[in-house]
Structure 1
Amino acid sequence: MSHHRAIALVFAVHGAVAGTVSTRMPWVQEHLALDPGTLGMALLCPPIGAFIGMPMAARVAHRFGSRAATRVLIGLWCAILVLPPLAPSPVWFGAALLLFGFGAGMSDITMNAHAVVLERRLGRSIMSGLHGMWAVGSLAGGGVGTLAAQAGIDARIHIGLVAAVLLTVSAAAGRGLLRDDRSDTPADVPAPRRFALPSRAILPLGLVGFCAVFAEGAGANWAAVYLTHVTDAGPGLAAAGYTVLMLCMAGMRLAGDRFIRLLGPVTAVRAGGLVAVLGGVLVVTARTPALGIAGFALLGLGLAVVMPLVLTAAGNAGRTASEGVTGVATITYLSGMVAPPVTGWLADGLSYPAAFTAITGVVVVMVLLSRVVRPSAGPSPQPVAEGSLVTGP
């Protein structure tokens, strides 16, 4: 197993964990007799846990190395997956989700930081494809969960089996990860703070990521509602808006590294942004389901490579890869949380087209700031052979 394939498998496992738990929330709601308000409060716990965990991840990766940290944290998150369906009460369910978010945030940081280092050592873009593998894993986890729910399988049994499989796969992938090298982190770089917040150097990259994730979150959460209310789409066509957006984004991420190598990071962000702007204009002006779906498809295609490029640039711009990734991820995670409600408030106060006009404007800002993703000098460690295998601790 090559280092590239190993980290790709880690990304797929991470996505599968996320996809698995989301499909069984209805089972947990019924099992614990949760009303919508209580479930909504519980679902605030994962992002809170992630916000607590993310700023700590840089210190952990610096102390133990991104390879060891990724191996341990992805395994830990697979194990935590079993806790939410086992919760005996709403309070314990919230606690399990808090821990679930904590593990999600920390493992997300360390695996992306490790990917930045590997990309630097390989000398070519791989981050977009890795995020595409995350989407593949999420779709696979969600698909298995959907089949399990349809078959009426107890979520504790389904999730327990899935967790065991993913834990085994993550352990195998972990053995193939690139061994940490001192040249990846110069000796004179101080250890990150125990709770690392975004540095001033990372803020411009964070703003680009904020814009991309804001538009992505707004589109994903409101596509079906928009198509229903603005284009009079039926339930099937309305749902297709979300599905097409996500499939276009996943497919483009899987193929995106080729475009990044051809165009370069700055041009790739600009070109993608312009495609996303065209998609936004099409969404705003569409009055038929077909045009609306086409607009959301272009939005997904255009935004697909932006966040992987932002993470790469942040990892290379930070004092350490993990600290740079932590700073950007903290900002963009906040963007993903605020995008759905802000879109709803704009739609309620103005109109749905007006809300997506504002979202299109956010993408324009992203295009104007695209220069900040230009590669920085960064450290220059020795290249590695992609096909080599590193085993052991």
Structure 2
Amino acid sequence: MHHIGRARLAVAAIFTVHGAAAGTFATRIPWIKDHVHASAGGLGLALLAPAMGSILAMPMVGRLIHRIGGRTATRVFAALFCLVLALVPFAPNLLTLWFCLLLFGATAGSCDVAMNAQGVEVEQALGRSIMSGLHGMWSVGGLLGAAAGTLAAHADLDARIHLPIAAAVLVAAGYVIGFWLPESRAAEDVEEPPHFALPGKAVLGIGFVSFCAVFAEGAAADWCAVYLKDVAHAGAGVSASAYTAFALMMAASRLAGDAVVSRLGAVRTVRIGGFLSIVGGVLVVLARTPLPAIIGFGLIGLGIAVVVPLAFAAAGKAAANAGQGVAGVATITYSCLLVAPAIIGGLASITSLSLSFVIVTVMTVLMTATAGKLRVADAKPIPA
């Protein structure tokens, strides 16, 4: 049992490294925007590239995990992801930046699939829910990376110095953690996944629940600060606190999620979370002052946080190959990150921002209604 406990800690640590790399990048977007002299629209297009890179790479990862094993795949992609992070600030113009961010997304998404597949395997060996906590550690990593990045930005540290230093630290951490990751190889009789695996029928239903949750997550994360400023008439500091409230609630919900899932099961947990996020969505739509809007965004974060980890757990168990199942749901989930912020922005420009958040609330209703698709996540595996 000892080595399974160690494997669980190692997978949690890799999630933290991945989150820290993402959080580090997010804080330096304003510097990168100025460096390549991008307009808001140009930056918007560049920021679509990571999701596109992920969607193109993810369907190919299942086969690679089958070939080289889960541990090697996770180590290689974690290192590549951090190395691309170091390259991003050296892009001289918008076009080069776009290609750098496409690579950034492809390596991030590939690492995401590999580490989630490892998480599903450790969860099955332990015989209890751990996926929510692993995603909680990703959020903790994101907050740590963002905190360090905020300090670097305040100190006016050039991102061409900051990001390579951050990347070197994270590559070193990933290298050491890699020794304790579980070595998972497919059984001899398991058929090799195709080169480019599209989600199967069982995974599509699970993916839909995940899609609804990520739609709400992407819209809230990208638009909450703007919403507070434009709709609730908050100042810059208060507007920024909306994202903090949202991110902290997501992290807290995920860290506590496994205990709740163990007690109530995946389906009931998602339904209760769905109810909280619907209340949050309604509060946001009706809010005309900062406080109800901040509470609303916090409730959305609290309610949707456990859905993606549970969807990955369900897909890993529903498919013949954990990597292939995770890749299927991850592809659907990341494609949502492409469309959600753009749909909200488009609707807001035609109607109003508060009306466009009605769509977010509708998505949380659909997520709650289809929660039954995650029942397979509750299937109790035989502990190894």
TM bin, normalised by shorter chain, reads over 0.9
Distance 1:193 1:251, change over 3 A: same
Which residue pairs with 2:367 in the alignment? 366
| Alpha-carbon distance change, 37 to 355 in structure 1, aligned in 2, over 3 angstroms | closer
2:152 counterpart (148, 152, 161)? 148
Structure 1 pair 246–262 and aligned structure 2 pair: CA distance change class (3 A) = same
Instruction: Give the AA of the match of 1:200.
Output: K
Q: Distance in 1 between matches of 2:161 and 2:224?
A: 33
Moved more, 110-119 or 63-72: 63-72
Which range is displaced more, 260-269 or 371-380?
371-380
Q: Equivalent residue for 1:226? A: 227
Q: Is the 8 A contact 1:317 1:378 kept in 2?
A: no
Once residues 326 and 152 of structure 2 are traced to their aligned partners in structure 1, the CA distance between those partners, rounded to angstroms, is 35
1:71 equivalent in alignment to 2:75: yes
1:123 alignment counterpart: 127
Alignment of 1:338-377 (within 5 A): 338-375=339-376
Identity of aligned residues (%): 49
With the length of structure 2 as denominator, give the TM-score of the two structures: 0.93
- TM superposition shift of 1:242: 1.9
In 1: Cα distance, 2:332 partner to 2:112 partner: 14
Of the candidates 54, 59, 71, which is equivalent to residue 55 of structure 1?
A: 59
Corresponding position of 1:84: 88
Corresponding residue for residue 113 of structure 1: 117
Q: Find the aligned partners of 1:52 and 1:347 in 2 and give their Cα distance.
A: 29
C-alpha contact 2:126 2:383 (8 A) present in aligned 1: no
Cα 1:170–1:362 change in 2 (3 A) is same
Task: Give the C-alpha shift of residue 343 in structure 1.
Answer: 1.6
* Unaligned stretches of 5+ residues in structure 1: 384-393
Q: Rate the CA distance shift 1:80–1:222 in 2: closer, same or farther, 3 A.
A: closer
Q: Is the 8 A contact 1:51 1:330 kept in 2?
A: yes
Deviation at 1:187, TM superposition (A): 3.9
Distance 2:14 2:52 in 1: 23
Query: What is the match of residue 268 of structure 1?
Result: 269
Cα pair 1:54 1:330 within 8 Å, conserved: yes
Q: Which residue number corresponds to residue 23 of structure 2?
A: 19
Aligned residues: 380
- Name the TM-score, length of structure 1 as normaliser: 0.91
1:330 aligned partner, one-letter code? T
Q: 1:179 aligned to 2:180?
A: no
Q: Is the counterpart of residue 138 in structure 1 residue 142 in structure 2?
A: yes
For residues 63 and 226 of structure 1, what CA distance do their matches in structure 2 show? 46
- Shift of residue 37, structure 1, vs aligned partner: 4.3
Which residue of the partner structure matches residue 14 of structure 2? Answer: 10
Q: 1:120 to 1:211 in 2, by over 3 A?
A: same
1:43 to 47, 50, 72: 47
Please list every run of 5 or more consecutive structure 2 residues that lacks an aligned counterpart in the other structure: none
Q: How does 1:160-309 map to 2 (within 5 A)?
A: 160-180=164-184, 185-309=186-310
- What residue identity is the alignment partner of 1:248? M
Mapped partners of 2:312, 2:293: distance in 1:
30
Change (3 A) 1:377 1:186: farther
In 2, distance between residues paired with 1:205 and 1:380? 19
- Shift of the alpha carbon at 1:335? 1.1
Within 2, Cα distance between the matches of 1:38 and 1:7?
36
8 Å Cα contact 1:74/1:107 also seen in 2: yes
Secondary structure at the aligned position of 1:232 is classed as coil
Aligned equivalents of 1:232 and 1:31: distance in 2?
30
Residue 215 (structure 1) shift: 1.0
Q: Is the Cα contact below 8 Å between 2:249 and 2:298 reproduced in 1?
A: yes
Which residue pairs with 1:389 in the alignment?
A: none
The one-letter amino acid of 2:309's match is: P
SS of equivalent residue, structure 2 residue 51: helix
Over 3 Å counting, the alpha-carbon distance change for 1:342 and 1:113 in structure 2 is same
Check the 8 A contact 2:273/2:303 in 1, yes or no. yes
Summarize deviations over 1:313-372 as a string: whole Å, max 9, x none.
011111211111111111111112211121223333333333222321211111111111
Cα deviation code 1:267-303 (max 9, x no counterpart): 1111111111111122223333211211111111111
3-state SS of paired residue (2:231): helix
Which amino acid in the other structure matches residue 124 of structure 2? R
